[in-house]
Amino acid sequence: MDQENKRKRLFLHISLFVITLITTTLAGAEWRYMFRVFGVGEEGGEAYLFWRGISWSEFRTGFAFSLPFLAFLTVHEFGHYFTAKAHKVRVSLPYFIPFWFGSILPAIGTMGAVIRIKQYIQSRKVHFDIGIAGPLAGFVIALGVLAWGFTHLPPQEYILQVHPEYKELGPNWQEEANKLSLETEGSFYLGKSLIYRIFEEYMATDPERLPSAFEIIHYPWLFAGFLGLFFTALNLLPIGQLDGGHILYGLLGYTWHRRIATALFVALVFWAGLGIPTPDPDEGAGGLILRLGVYGLFLYYLFGRLDMPASHRLTLALSILLAQLMVGYLVPGAHGYLGWMLYAFLIGRFIGVYHPITPEDRPLSTGRKVLGWLVLLIFVLCFSPEPFVFVE
């Protein structure tokens, strides 16, 4: 019976991987052949997205996205898996999570992959080793994907196959297309991290072939590499039981992890919500009061799992609201990145900000400490304050 259950679980893991391969390949084909059509007139451009049926030949081009992206995810998760096995920790094979909207809305075909630790980890060192192995291994793959993408850029004319409407913009179509994108409500671009900019500057064999931030989504290797850096940064955020949280806990122990993780969580919420409390000139006093009240309650709920009295959580929520309001007055138009608020919500209400205490709490070796700080530096290089920016 036990062997039968193992076969069923293995079949489940393989099935999820195959389905995820299909959905990410479909997503890759969609991003490559997604049209952003501009109507040029006195009022400027309009942007809208549409998907047509994907042919079999176009589907096959989606492998240029799915294979490097899934290579990143797979190596990341197996980094955790093999390190756990090395420490004799019972762990599952990776569960890949397919996620696709069926060509109705844009998606990347997956919500990632996870492994399940099947026992309580007793050691600070083991937490550190398992936590650091995944993002470090995945980061190496992401760098390789970007290196290939930047050294194998297609000719400039490639983007005209994706955007035939650019031909109507004249001989300076690249410059005009970027200008039009910045002026067009509904268009979006990718916010580049430091490491992406370094590769863009020094790795591209022909700088004239470099796509603009609006067009990276049509270059599957670059898009896969960008997402690899993005997910590396997500995992390395040094909060709670994220990979970065395990690393920080291993480096500094429970007390300092708790202090730093709490401060970073509050900073993330502050940045994410910056601009929300700012008054709208067209908004009446009643609307403003209602909006501030709802937002203040949301912040209080968001901090509900922080280990502090209710009065302190209320003070913290009001302090952030007032600070954001003050910044909005002092710096008109200042805004953060609302997308991080969803991640903050997942951390604050589900993942948790703190790290559990381990019975074995001995400090790490010097080599592990050096590696830990190096990987936290990788987090800084991979992090983008605004990874996906929509033009308003």
**261-315 pLDDT, tens digit each:** 999 999 999 999 999 988 877 777 888 889 899 999 999 999 999 999 999 999 9
Determine which of 38-47, 93-102, 118-127 has the lowest per-residue pLDDT on average: 38-47
What is the number of other CB atoms lying within 10 angstroms of the CB of residue 98? Answer: 20
Phi, psi values for residue 365, rounded to 5°: -70, 165
Asked whether the predicted pLDDT for residue 233 surpasses 90, the reply is: yes
Q: Rounded distance, CA 109 to CA 99, Å?
A: 5
Residue 97 identity: I
DSSP state of 246: H
Q: Rounded distance, CA 313 to CA 307, Å?
A: 9
Instruction: Tell me whether residue 360 is exposed, middle or buried, using C-beta atoms within 10 angstroms of its C-beta: 0 to 12, 13 to 18, 19 or more.
Output: exposed
Q: How confident is the model at residue 136 (pLDDT cuts 50, 70, 90)?
A: very high
Q: How confident is the model at residue 200 (pLDDT cuts 50, 70, 90)?
A: very high
Domain parsing of the chain, residue ranges: 2-240+381-390, 254-364
Q: How confident is the model at residue 26 (pLDDT cuts 50, 70, 90)?
A: very high
pLDDT higher at 391 or 1:
391
What is the 3-class SS of 248-300, one letter each residue?
HHHHHHHHHHHHHHHHHHHHHHHHHHCCCCCCCCCCCHHHHHHHHHHHHHHHH
